[in-house]
Amino acid sequence: MGTITTKDGTEIFFKDWGPKDAQPIVFHHGWPLSADDWDNQMMFFLLQGFRVIAHDRRGHGRSTQTDTGNEMDTYAADVAALTDHLDLKGAVHVGHSTGGGEVARYVARAKPGRVAKAVLIGAVPPIMLKTAAYPGGLPMEVFDGFRAALIANRAQFFRDVPSGPFFGFNRPGSNVSQGLIDNWWRQGMMGGAKAHYDCIKAFSETDFTEDLRAISVPVLIMHGEDDQIVPIANSAELAIRLVKDGTLKTYPGLPHGMASTHPDIINADLLAFIRS
């Protein structure tokens, strides 16, 4: 574990486990979480012989609770600084939700040789917000509601999201895990309120259309068909049409947080793609 300091003085916390000469897999977490959201995948791929890396996005987890730079261009620049610091070559970048947007922007701009493949899991691209180009998106009122709830009572908001739609625990017959709920809340409350507030705009209003078109490496897009946070029809099903070399794999009945609720399924498919 360690930190790097970016050009604007922000400290980015990261974990870097495994043989330094093994193929690296870099994990990018969703909002408002941290690198800890990838614990299962980090351990799984470490035991498979990979080098595994995950960072806390600025304003999240153990990184600086900055009030500036909480937007996708800077997030991607922070990733570039980290990959330069670690001199990663031929890495696989895996992003969930907001982290999927971060992966799309970083990979589209990455230096030659840095990236071998990319994976988007329940990811926000091409854009979550309803626009003229994407009329099936969510209305601004949804994201205004997120901002209002965060300001009013962030601690309660960060209970309500994982207890309900994030993991699909609001569905009849769901296998509710209090541990997952508590861990989501713990990670969320580690971060900064200002950064979390700003990140709502970043994950909802950023248009990744051109990023997706610019990616030249193979891309695996994985999405739960019962994703209540990032509905599949306006995300994965559109993103797959924009990438040059993409594979779409969807999961009937699985929720937004399927990498946590169904890691055995997700890890096996990730491994198959990485080794293909």
Q: What is the pLDDT of residues 125-134, one digit of tens each?
A: 999 999 999 9
Average pLDDT over residues 123-146: 97
pTM attached to this predicted model: 0.98
Of 36, 55, 93, 97, catalytic: 97
102, 223, 179, 78: which is closest to 169 by C-alpha?
179
Instruction: Tell me what pLDDT residue 215 has.
Output: 98
State the amino acid at position 31 in one-letter form: W
Annotation says 97 is catalytic: yes
Q: Is the pLDDT of residue 268 over 90?
A: yes
Give the active site residue among 16, 36, 37, 227: 227
The per-residue pLDDT for range 226-252, each reduced to its tens digit, is 999 999 999 999 999 999 999 999 999
In angstroms, the CA 203 to CA 48 distance is: 32
Q: What is the mean pLDDT of the chain?
A: 98
Residue 276 appears among annotated catalytic residues: no
List, for residues 9-20, the tens digit of each pLDDT value.
999 999 999 999
What is the band of 258 on the pLDDT scale with cuts at 50, 70, 90? very high
What pLDDT score was predicted for residue 1? 74
- Across the strands, what pairs with 250? 223
Superfamily classification of domain 2-275: Alpha/Beta hydrolase fold, catalytic domain (3.40.50.1820)
pLDDT of 204: 98
34 assigned to active site: no
pLDDT for 50 = 98
The tens digit of pLDDT for each residue in 76-101 reads: 999 999 999 999 999 999 999 999 99
**What share of the chain in percent tops pLDDT 90?**
100
Looking at the predicted structure, is the pLDDT value of residue 51 above 90? yes
Give the residue-averaged pLDDT of 252-257.
Answer: 98
Give the integer Cα–Cα distance in Å for 153 and 166: 18
